């Protein structure tokens, strides 16, 4: 019996010891996990994803001004706005962008649908037209798009960026909508103070005709187009090597393509050269394109935009959906540096590409007559041919050019505040006139005037002036302790140059008209700083 009790006690002791060890281990593991959890929570990378950025302060003011300038132009041309989802079914986007399809952001399956972030605003628009059986529409759309491209942040080349699109869908007389889109392109850029640009223009049918003449098979046309489209970044020798070695074309074919894609000049000059070329004139596709160019020459002259256009046969635009006229706007900042190859070798692969790339095209577009019909047929709808043409402005790239106007950009303030309402007084009975300041501010708001005041009952004069200075507003309305009791207000200009100016004492009932008059005098020629920056004044 004693032996049995001894053995039982021994077993219990060992069991208790094991349990204690396990409990201690569990406690230690729990503590370790808790510490690891705490540690992991502290180890957050406070950064935006590669190719994206936060927008704030004066940058937002400038970007909003760009949006407003472009949307006003779109409305002037009869545009109505729409919005589409930021992601589309993957099958909607698939096969529309040629070699650039690899840049599409695919999303994880979230409930039975494979989706992707939109790559541009054109394909979603064509889907919208087909889905809603729209026969004609002038639409504009300002929204973000996404591309897994190598970013160059200071050049406005990003993975998340805004496009401002204007498109015309419907059957109209040849080249009328195309000419209007080109006019919108010119109006948009000149309206943003960008005047040193060229619109490189080509026609997909002329390009396809050239490839046929050179002996390129129909199935190889798009990949050869993609190679030719690199001529704005690479010399002909490099592009020729890609055509022959990577794309499998003969030396003779490449040389024939080279004869044509080096041609550029005014619409009339290049048209005359092509129209006198027996091989071009004998090619059905090329002659169809030439007929469009002949019509466009008259319309471009009517709109007064021909001086901005360069007929450039090297322009191919790799997107698969273009069927007719194609174009893009470039400036001196569009091209990469001359020593771009050397600079690229010095840069690490994952780094920002700003050092060795240019801004690229700042706007681009073209005609895509088959995209709506493609969606209609694929969905089982009745076949409908809805021709479309459009233009897309790259806001971040344009922004990078506008910001280069350093002096004008420095004058921009982050808030729209025009008037700061203050109160001065003293003594034991001084309350700070907070409700009175709120009342005057409300009067200004009701009149559509941007106004602020300090959120403190008794704010000393220095803090009120500091707050006004921080907001950058040009005027102050001052409630003096005695003056306000006599229904009087003081209106004062703000800024170092007006430090010794006590302002003007006015009747409180005349506040709004006097403020509006003084605000009209504040800005040079009646134009505010944002407008001066945007217009390049």
Task: Choose one of 364, 383, 408: the last residue of a domain.
Answer: 408
38: in domain: no
| Structural domains in the chain (count) | 2
200 and 61, same domain (yes or no): yes
- Asked if 92 and 123 count as a contact pair (C-beta separation under 8 A), the reply is yes
- Containing 256, the helix (H) or strand (E) segment is helix 251-261
378: in domain: yes
Q: Which residues of the chain have pLDDT under 50?
A: 1-16, 18-19, 23
84 and 127, same domain (yes or no): yes
386 and 483, same domain (yes or no): no
196 and 319, same domain (yes or no): yes
**In 10 A of CB 45, how many CB atoms?**
6
Q: What is the pLDDT of residue 29?
A: 55
How many angstroms separate the Cα of 491 from the Cα of each of 400, 419, 430, 477? 38, 9, 21, 5
Task: Choose one of 385, 408, 431: the last residue of a domain.
Answer: 408
- Asked if 199 and 328 count as a contact pair (C-beta separation under 8 A), the reply is yes
**In 10 A of CB 37, how many CB atoms?**
10
483: in domain: yes
| Residue 497, domain extent | 419-535
115: in domain: yes
Q: What is the pLDDT of residue 530?
A: 75
430 and 396, same domain (yes or no): no
216: in domain: yes
* Secondary-structure percent of the chain, ordered helix, strand, coil, rounded to 5: 50, 15, 35
- Containing 519, the helix (H) or strand (E) segment is helix 511-522
Give residue-wise pLDDT tens across range 408-441.
Answer: 777 777 778 999 999 999 888 899 999 999 999 9
Give residue 385's Cα distance to chain centre: 30
**Is 532 known as a binding-site position?**
no
511 and 369, same domain (yes or no): no
* Pick from 369, 332, 402, 15: nearest CA to 188: 402
136 and 181, same domain (yes or no): yes
Q: What is the pLDDT of residue 520?
A: 85
495: in domain: yes
341 and 488, same domain (yes or no): no
**Is 119 known as a binding-site position?**
no
Please give the span between the terminal C-alpha atoms of the chain, in angstroms, as a whole number. 108
Residues 6+ apart with CB under 8 A from 277: none
CA 529 – CA 537 distance, rounded (Å): 9
CATH of residue 90 = 3.30.930.10
11: in domain: no
DSSP bridge pairs for 309: 199
Strand order across the beta sheet in which 137-146 lies: 80-81, 137-146, 160-169, 388-394, 363-367, 325-331, 197-203, 309-312, 264-265
Q: What is the pLDDT of residue 321?
A: 84
**Is 114 known as a binding-site position?**
no
Among all chains, which residue has been given the structure tokens 């006198």? 276
DSSP bridge pairs for 451: 419
CATH of residue 440 = 3.40.50.800
25: in domain: no
**Is 489 known as a binding-site position?**
no
**Is 147 known as a binding-site position?**
yes
**Is 43 known as a binding-site position?**
no
353 and 488, same domain (yes or no): no
**CA torsion, points 452, 456, 461, 462, in degrees to nearest 10?**
-90
Task: Choose one of 408, 437, 460: the last residue of a domain.
Answer: 408
322 and 272, same domain (yes or no): yes
**Is 167 known as a binding-site position?**
yes
DSSP string, 45-72: --SPPTT-----HHHHHHHHHHHHHHHH
382 and 525, same domain (yes or no): no
391 and 424, same domain (yes or no): no
């Amino acid at each position: 019996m004693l032996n049995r009790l001894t053995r039982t006690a021994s077993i219990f002791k060992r069991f208790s010891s094991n349990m204690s060890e396990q409990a201690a281990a569990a406690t230690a593991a729990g503590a370790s996990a808790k510490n690891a959890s705490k540690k992991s929570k502290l180890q957050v990378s406070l950064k935006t994803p590669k190719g994206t950025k936060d927008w704030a302060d004066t940058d937002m003011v400038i970007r909003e001004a760009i949006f407003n300038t472009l949307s006003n132009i779109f409305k002037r041309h009869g545009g109505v706005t729409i919005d589409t989802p930021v992601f589309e079914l993957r099958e909607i986007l698939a096969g529309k962008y040629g070699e650039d399809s690899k840049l599409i952001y695919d999303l994880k399956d979230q409930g039975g649908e494979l989706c992707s972030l939109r790559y541009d605003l054109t394909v979603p628009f064509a889907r919208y037209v087909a889905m809603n059986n729209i026969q004609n529409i002038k639409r504009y759309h300002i929204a973000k798009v996404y591309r897994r491209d190598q970013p160059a942040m200071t050049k406005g080349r990003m993975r998340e960026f805004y496009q401002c699109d204007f498109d015309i869908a419907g059957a109209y007389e040849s080249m009328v909508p195309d000419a209007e889109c080109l006019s919108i392109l010119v109006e948009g850029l000149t309206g943003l103070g960008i005047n040193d640009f060229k619109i490189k223009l080509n026609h997909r049918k002329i390009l396809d005709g050239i490839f046929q003449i050179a002996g390129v098979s129909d199935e190889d046309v798009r990949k050869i187009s993609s190679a030719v489209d690199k001529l704005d970044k690479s010399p002909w020798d490099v592009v020729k090597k890609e055509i022959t070695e990577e794309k499998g074309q003969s030396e003779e074919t490449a040389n024939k393509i080279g004869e044509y894609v080096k041609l550029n000049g005014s619409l009339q000059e290049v048209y005359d050269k092509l129209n006198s070329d027996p091989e071009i004139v004998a090619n059905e596709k090329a002659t169809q394109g030439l007929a469009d160019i002949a019509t466009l020459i008259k319309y471009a002259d009517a709109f007064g935009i021909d001086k901005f256009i360069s007929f450039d046969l090297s322009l191919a635009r790799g997107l698969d959906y273009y069927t007719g006229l194609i174009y893009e706007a470039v400036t001196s900042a569009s091209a990469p540096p001359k020593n771009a190859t050397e600079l690229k070798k010095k840069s690490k692969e994952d780094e920002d590409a700003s050092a060795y790339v240019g801004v690229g095209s700042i706007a681009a577009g073209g005609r895509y007559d088959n995209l709506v019909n493609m969606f209609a047929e694929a969905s089982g709808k009745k076949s409908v041919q809805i021709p479309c043409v459009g233009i897309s402005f790259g806001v971040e790239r344009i922004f990078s050019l506008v910001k280069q106007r350093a002096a004008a950009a420095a004058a921009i303030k982050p808030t729209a505040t025009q008037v700061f309402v203050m109160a001065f007084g003293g003594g034991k009975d001084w309350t700070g006139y907070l409700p009175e300041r709120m009342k005057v501010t409300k009067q200004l708001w009701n009149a559509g005037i941007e106004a602020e005041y300090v959120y403190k009952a008794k704010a000393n004069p220095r803090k009120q002036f500091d707050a006004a200075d921080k907001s950058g507003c040009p005027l102050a309305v001052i409630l003096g302790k005695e003056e306000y009791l006599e229904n009087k207000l003081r209106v004062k200009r703000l800024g170092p140059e007006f430090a010794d100016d006590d302002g003007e004492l006015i009747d409180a009932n005349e506040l709004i008209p006097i403020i509006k008059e003084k605000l009209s005098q504040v800005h040079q020629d009646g134009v505010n700083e944002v407008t001066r920056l945007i217009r390049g004044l």
